[in-house]
C-alpha cells in the first residue's frame, strides 16, 4: 500500500537460487510462476528461463522475478516454425541443453549461483544439465497426481494408452476405482498423437535421478493417489498454484499472473458482471488451446440460450469464425444485452471470484479445474482431449463438485444436455450437494497454502533442503 516492494523483493540475503524451466506454454508457465512467487517469499532467488521466441510474444512480464532467455533453436518463428511438435521438442533438447548450461555459467558469476533446477518433465533433459553442474533437480508436474499416476503406469506398461475399446474398464493401481476408457487421457484429435503420448509417458524416464517431484495439487484433494505415488517418488504437492491474492493473501502479487501471452482483460467484462445478480452467470471457457467443432459451438450457443441463464462466454479470436454471424445476432450475444456476453479473453480468476458467477462450463484443463476448486465454483464439464476427461471424472465422482455433459456418438454434446446440466448445477435441488461441496473445497484449497497447511509445509521443507545442501 505504501508503493514499496515487499521486503523479500528488496532482500539481498537469498538463501538459495532456483532456476525455473517451464515448458513454453501459457498453462505450464502460470503454475510455475506462482510456485516461484511462493519460493521467493521464503527468500529463494528465482530466475525463470524462457525461450527467445516465447519472450517476444509476451504481453505482460512480472516485475518481481528475473527472466533470462535461452533458445529452443527457433528464435524467430517459435514452435510453428518447427513443422511438427516432435521436431520442436527434439531441437529444443539439443539447443536448450547448451543455452541452459551457458545461462547457469553466467549466473555462477553473478554473486548468487544457481543451486537447483525446477524443470517441467516435458523437458527431461534438464536433469542431465543439473547433474553436470552438481545441482539439485526437481521435476514440476503441472497436472494433478491422478493423471501423473496414469502416465506412470503407461510408462511401466501396466496400462495401455489410449485404450482400444470404449467400454473397457481399466484398473489403475493407486486410483480410487476402476475407470472407463472414456475417463482416461485421450490423444485422438491431435496429429502426431502417438509421439505426444510418448513424450508424456517419457516424463518418468529419468525421474529416479531427481531430488524432488513437485505436483500442482494439494494433499487433501488426492490423498490416496498421493500416498501411493509417494512410495515410488519423493512427491511434494505444492498447490493450488493460484495467485495468493485469491487464496491465503499472504504474498504480494505484483500482477495476477504477470507472465502472459494474452492481453489483459478490459473493464467491459467486470462492468458487465457487476450488473448481474448474485450467482446468476454461467462462465464458459475452453482454455487457451482447445478448438471446438463449428457444430459444437452452435449446440453450445443454443444450450446456453435455452438454459435461460446469463452467460459470459470466452471465444478466442481464432475460434470466432465458427459462430455464424446470424446466430450471434439471433442470440443477441452482444455486450449491451443482459443475457450473454462474448469476449475473446478474460481474467478467469477475476471472473471465477466474482459473486455473479454461479457455475463454470469448462473443458477441464487442470489449471481451470484447480482455479474453480480454489474459488468454490461448481462445474459443468465438457472435456475434449488430453487429461481433461480424467479431471472431469474426478470433478464428478470423487470431489462431487460438478456434472459431465456427455457427448453423443458423433462426439458432440447436444443443446438439450447442456441446458439440463446447467440447470442442475445452477438452480435445481439435485445440484445442492454439488454447490455445497464446491464451497467446502474452496476452504480446503486455501488452508493447504496458508501458514502450516499441507502445501505450505512441503514448500518449507523444499526450501530447507535447498539451504542444507547448498
**Can you give the binding site for ligand UDP, defined by CB under 6 A?**
26-27, 30, 285, 287-290, 314, 345-349, 365-368, 371
In angstroms, give the least distance from the CB of 464 to ligand UDP.
30
Residue closer to ligand UDP by CB (options 104, 284) is 284
Burial code (b: 16+ CB inside 10 Å, e: under 16) for 390-411 equals bbbbbbbebbbbbbbbebeeee
Asked whether the beta carbons of 339 and 311 are under 8 A apart, the reply is yes
Between residues 211 and 256, which has the closer beta carbon with respect to ligand UDP?
256
Query: What grid cell was written down for 155?
Result: 510408462
Report phi then psi at 381, rounded to 5: -100, 140
Residue 262 C-beta: closest distance to ligand UDP, Å? 7
Paired with 21 in beta bridges are 119
User: Of the listed 2, 14, 98, 120, which one is catalytic?
Assistant: 120
Least distance to ligand UDP, CB of residue 169, Å: 27
**Between 382 and 463, whose beta carbon lies closer to ligand UDP?**
382
| Smallest separation (angstroms) from ligand UDP to the CB of 287 | 3
Do residues 125 and 100 make contact, with C-beta atoms less than 8 angstroms apart? no
**Which residue's CB is nearer to ligand UDP, number 70 or number 370?**
370
Which of 2, 14, 17, 28 is the catalytic position? Answer: 28
Please confirm, yes or no, whether 208 is among the known catalytic residues: no
**Cα(301)–Cα(279) distance, integer angstroms:** 20
Cβ distance to ligand UDP smaller for residue 74 or 360: 360
The rounded distance, in Å, linking the Cα atoms of 57 and 407 is 35
**Distance of alpha carbon 404 from alpha carbon 380, whole angstroms:** 6
Shortest CB 321 distance to ligand UDP, Å: 18
The rounded distance, in Å, linking the Cα atoms of 175 and 155 is 16
Q: Considering the complex, what minimum distance in angstroms separates the CB of residue 379 from ligand UDP?
A: 12
Task: Tell the smallest beta-carbon distance from residue 369 to ligand UDP (Å).
Answer: 7
All 3 cell numbers of residue 108?
555462477
**Is 253 among the catalytic positions?**
no
Q: Which is nearer to ligand UDP, 23 or 462 (CB)?
A: 23
Closer of 27 and 90 to ligand UDP (Cβ): 27
- Least distance between ligand UDP and beta carbon 366 (Å): 5
- State which residue, 226 or 346, has the beta carbon closest to ligand UDP: 346
CA 181/CA 204 separation, integer angstroms: 22
The residues annotated with a catalytic role in the active site are 28, 120
Amino acid at each position: 500500500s505504501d508503493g514499496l516492494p515487499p521486503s523479500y523483493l528488496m532482500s539481498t540475503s537469498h538463501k538459495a537460487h532456483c532456476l525455473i524451466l517451464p515448458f513454453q506454454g501459457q498453462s505450464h508457465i502460470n503454475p510455475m510462476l506462482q510456485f516461484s512467487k511462493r519460493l521467493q517469499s521464503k527468500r529463494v532467488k528465482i530466475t525463470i528461463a524462457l525461450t527467445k521466441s516465447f519472450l517476444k510474444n509476451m504481453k505482460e512480464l512480472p516485475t518481481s522475478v528475473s527472466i533470462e532467455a535461452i533458445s529452443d533453436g527457433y528464435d524467430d518463428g517459435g514452435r510453428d516454425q518447427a513443422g511438427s511438435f516432435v521436431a520442436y521438442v527434439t531441437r529444443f533438447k539439443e539447443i536448450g541443453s547448451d543455452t541452459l548450461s551457458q545461462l547457469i555459467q553466467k549466473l555462477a558469476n553473478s554473486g548468487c549461483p544457481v543451486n537447483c533446477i525446477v524443470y517441467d518433465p516435458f523437458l527431461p533433459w534438464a536433469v542431465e544439465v543439473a547433474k553436470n553442474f552438481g545441482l539439485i533437480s526437481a521435476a514440476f508436474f503441472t497436472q494433478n497426481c491422478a493423471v501423473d499416476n496414469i502416465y506412470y503406469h503407461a510408462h511401466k506398461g501396466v496400462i495401455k494408452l489410449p485404450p482400444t475399446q470404449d467400454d473397457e474398464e481399466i484398473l489403475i493401481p493407486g486410483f480410487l476405482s476402476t475407470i472407463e476408457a472414456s475417463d482416461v487421457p485421450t490423444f485422438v484429435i491431435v496429429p502426431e498423437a502417438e509421439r505426444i503420448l510418448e513424450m508424456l509417458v517419457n516424463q518418468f524416464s529419468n525421474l529416479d535421478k531427481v531430488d524432488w517431484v513437485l505436483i500442482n495439487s494439494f494433499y487433501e484433494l488426492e490423498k490416496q493417489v498421493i500416498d501411493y505415488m509417494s512410495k515410488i517418488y519423493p512427491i511434494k504437492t505444492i498447490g493450488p498454484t493460484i495467485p495468493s491474492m485469491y487464496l491465503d493473501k499472504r504474498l504480494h502479487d505484483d500482477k495476477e499472473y504477470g507472465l502472459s501471452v494474452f492481453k489483459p482483460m478490459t473493464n467491459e467484462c467486470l462492468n458487465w458482471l457487476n450488473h448481474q445478480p448474485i450467482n446468476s452467470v454461467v462462465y464458459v471457457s475452453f482454455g487457451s488451446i482447445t478448438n471446438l467443432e463449428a457444430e459444437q459451438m452452435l449446440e453450445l450457443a443454443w444450450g446456453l440460450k435455452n438454459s435461460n441463464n446469463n452467460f459470459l462466454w470466452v471465444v478466442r479470436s481464432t475460434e470466432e469464425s465458427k459462430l455464424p454471424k446470424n446466430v450471434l445476432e439471433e442470440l443477441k450475444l452482444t455486450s449491451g444485452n443482459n443475457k450473454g456476453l462474448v469476449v475473446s479473453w478474460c481474467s478467469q480468476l477475476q471472473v471465477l471470484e466474482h459473486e455473479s458467477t454461479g457455475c463454470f462450463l469448462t473443458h477441464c484443463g487442470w489449471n481451470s479445474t484447480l482455479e474453480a476448486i480454489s474459488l468454490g465454483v461448481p462445474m459443468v464439464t465438457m472435456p475434449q482431449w488430453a487429461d481433461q476427461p480424467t479431471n472431469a471424472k474426478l470433478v464428478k465422482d470423487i470431489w462431487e463438485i460438478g456434472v459431465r455433459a456427455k457427448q453423443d456418438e458423433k462426439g458432440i454434446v447436444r443443446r438439450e444436455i447442456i441446458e439440463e446440466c446447467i440447470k442442475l448445477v445452477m438452480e435445481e435441488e439435485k445440484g445442492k450437494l454439488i454447490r455445497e461441496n464446491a464451497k467446502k473445497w474452496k476452504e480446503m484449497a486455501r488452508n493447504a497454502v496458508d501458514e502450516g497447511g499441507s502445501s505450505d509445509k512441503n514448500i518449507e521443507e523444499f526450501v530447507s533442503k535447498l539451504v542444507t545442501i547448498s
